Amino acid sequence: MTSFPQKAETTKGERPPRPLVLLTGASRGLGLAVAQHLIRLNRFNLVLTARSESLPRFLKAGIKQGPHLWLRALDVTSPRQRHELIEEVENYFQRVDVLINNAGMMTRAVAEHVLEPDTLLQMGVNYHAPMELSRLVLPGMRARRWGRIVNISSVGGMMAMPTMSVYSASKFALEGASEALSYEVRPWNVYVTLVQPGFINSGGLQQIGYTERSRAALQDPLSPYHEHYTYMSSFIATIMKRVHSTPQSVARKVIRVIDSPNPSVRVAGTFDAFLFSALRRLLPRDLYHAVLYRTLPGINNWGRRS
């Protein structure tokens, strides 16, 4: 096991000189970009996690264990693995100063194509796991009267889009719980922040999952929901290729949250996240929903099949 160097205790309520950061889902996408930024800064002790089958990606990215870096396998949906990881880190290093809940999944499906197991898996990864990991590290943060919890949310956590109902449900849940948590732990100088990325120019589209029924509908031109999937897929793919936001640009915002002495509860990760947030605040509710509905791609062709 690679060890961290021992360090002196810090005064309660003070930012430690080299905070320990625990980052989930760190082997690709935004998680990898955040990890690479943290490594380059060389002022954090890092515990980077990914599912066991994803650990080889670290080596491909040139990331190896060292004096200030641990690589650990973690299935965030496993209660046993969550407990064992936090116990290992806190037993050795006596602290987790910053928790970045980045691990997540996106399921593309209309509500009619989501069965209970699909819902439980999506909610387990995007909502339940971040809150459970937060619960495990909070006693130590409260005792030291300093901590940062960064939950990677999404534009889908402030506005729902068709074919993404269960994904939005998981992010809406994360948003609500994180906001409540931010009020609860602020008295101990523990800050909870939701970083909300929107569209990112990356390979993230390839990581989108489908339920058994949604994949069948996508492939079947006679499905009543076929147009929902084809138009939305093409629309999202086009936008992701055109936007300027990248995993690296969002990662820099995550770093700024960690470094801020008084971070906001919500931080827009991309320009479109800022734009959609402004529209939601400024437009009357009925007009907001009407505008979004009329601007859905190919909406006039939806629902033509029985």
Q: What amino acid positions are annotated as catalytic residues? A: 167
Could you give the dihedral angle defined by the CA atoms of residues 180, 182, 183 and 187, in that order, rounded to the nearest 10 degrees? 150
Residue 242 burial class via C-beta count within 10 angstroms: exposed 0-12, middle 13-18, buried 19 and up: exposed
| Cβ partners under 8 Å of residue 121, min gap 6 | 77, 105, 107
Residues β-bridged to residue 70:
47
- The one-letter code for the residue type at 177 is A
Cβ of 304: how many Cβ atoms within 10 Å? Answer: 9
State how far Cα 125 lies from the chain centre.
10
Cβ(257)–Cβ(263) under 8 Å?
Answer: yes
Q: Please name the amino acid found at residue 93.
A: F
Q: How many CB atoms lie within 10 A of CB 288?
A: 16
Spatial distance between the Cα atoms of 247 and 253, rounded to a whole number of angstroms: 10
Q: Which two tokens stand for residue 206?
A: 């390839």
**CA angle at 32 for the pair 27 and 36, rounded to the nearest 5°:** 130
Give the position of tokens 């690479």.
36
What is the C-alpha to C-alpha distance for residues 3 and 290, in angstroms, rounded to an integer? 56
- Cβ–Cβ under 8 Å, residues 267 and 198: no
CA distance 80 to 89: 14
